[in-house]
């Protein structure tokens, strides 16, 4: 089996690491292919049995813009790491894959739809955490904060559960799949639990208007992401059903 990864970053590396005896080719700083080497990448597309993209769009999706025709013509298994941000703000309500796409990032919305139109398995991901990238690391580094906004909740996924979800999708039909844990939670609860695990005081409260525009935009959205389709169709279950399990394991 041969996997081609566009963008071998944090999430895609977790997938590749679980594929024993697979041949892996990839673009990105950790990969072996130059994204702009068209002949080399097209040859890798032809050779691959499975193709996964984790490259986020800018104005357009760069993978589809450059290699979309080759991907559409290959009859390969296609996967794309998208974002639950495509759902936009739901006011804290639960959202599943049947919801309309109305996220604030038009380019991400288009990329999600375009990969679906190619017959890809589109994995919509909430906040990803794992070794080296978790609330524990932010608390240790003094970069964590609370907002004091108890009503804002969001979902998350441990990077190991993301990887097992994508691999479970190797045998699934095309479509969108939310990969999220079972327990959406408030940001302040998460960072306070991380601080308690480390035996330090909770980080300070920072007013929303003092945050960066990107952080304010994140906190302006409020949703709970359902993973029931992935459980039902992929036969997948998160190994860390909530942030408490995931953070304890990381500690």
Q: How many domains does the chain have?
A: 1
Residue 66 burial by Cβ neighbours in a 10 Å radius (0-12, 13-18, 19+): middle
At 105-122, the pLDDT tens digits run: 999 999 999 999 999 999
User: From CA 15, how far away is CA 173, in angstroms rounded?
Assistant: 19
Q: What is the pLDDT of residue 23?
A: 97
Distance between first and last Cα of the chain: 34
Q: Give Cα separations from 139 to 155, 175, 217 (angstroms).
A: 19, 37, 22
Structural domain range at position 93: 2-250
Q: At residue 14, does pLDDT exceed 80?
A: yes
- 82 touches 122 (CB < 8 A): yes
As to burial, measured by CB atoms within 10 angstroms (0-12 exposed, 13-18 middle, 19+ buried), residue 189 is: middle
Q: How many Cβ atoms are within 10 Å of 240's Cβ, its own excluded?
A: 23
Whole-number pLDDT of residue 75: 85
Helix (H) or strand (E) holding 154: strand 153-154
Tell me the per-residue pLDDT of 28-73, one tens digit each, with 9 for 90 and over. Answer: 988 999 999 999 999 999 999 999 999 999 999 999 999 999 999 7
The chain-wide mean pLDDT, for the chain, equals 95
Give Cα separations from 101 to 95, 109, 204 (angstroms).
Answer: 11, 7, 35
Tell if the pTM clears 0.75, that is, is over it. yes
Segment 216-242, tens digit of pLDDT:
877 788 999 999 999 999 999 999 999
Dihedral pair phi/psi, residue 114, rounded to 5°:
-70, -40
Distance, CA of 14 to CA of 199 (rounded, Å): 29
Give the Cα separation of 53 and 207 in Å (integer).
36
Could you tell me the CATH number of the domain that includes residue 137? 3.40.50.720
């Amino acid at each position: 089996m041969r996997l081609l990864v566009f963008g071998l970053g944090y999430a895609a590396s977790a997938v590749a690491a679980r594929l024993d005896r697979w041949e892996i080719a990839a673009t990105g700083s950790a990969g072996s292919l130059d994204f702009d080497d068209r002949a080399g990448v097209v040859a890798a597309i032809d050779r691959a049995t499975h193709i996964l993209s984790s490259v986020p769009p800018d104005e357009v999706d760069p993978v589809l813009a450059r290699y979309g025709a080759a991907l559409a013509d290959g009859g390969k298994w296609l996967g794309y790491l998208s974002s639950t941000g495509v759902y936009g703000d739901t006011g804290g309500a639960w959202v599943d894959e049947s919801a309309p796409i109305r996220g604030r990032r038009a380019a991400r919305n288009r990329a999600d739809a375009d990969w679906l139109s190619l017959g890809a398995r589109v994995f919509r991901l909430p906040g990803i955490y794992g070794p080296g990238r978790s609330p524990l690391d932010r608390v240790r580094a003094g970069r964590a904060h609370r907002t004091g906004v108890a009503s804002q909740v969001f979902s998350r996924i441990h990077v190991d559960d993301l990887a097992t979800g994508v691999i479970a999708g190797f045998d699934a039909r095309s479509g969108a799949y939310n990969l999220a844990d079972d327990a959406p939670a408030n940001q302040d609860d998460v960072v306070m639990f991380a601080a308690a695990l480390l035996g330090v005081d909770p980080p300070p409260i920072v007013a929303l208007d003092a945050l960066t525009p990107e952080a304010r935009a994140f906190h302006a959205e409020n949703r709970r992401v359902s993973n029931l389709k992935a459980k039902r169709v992929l036969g997948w279950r998160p190994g860390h059903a909530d942030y408490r399990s995931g953070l304890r394991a990381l500690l």
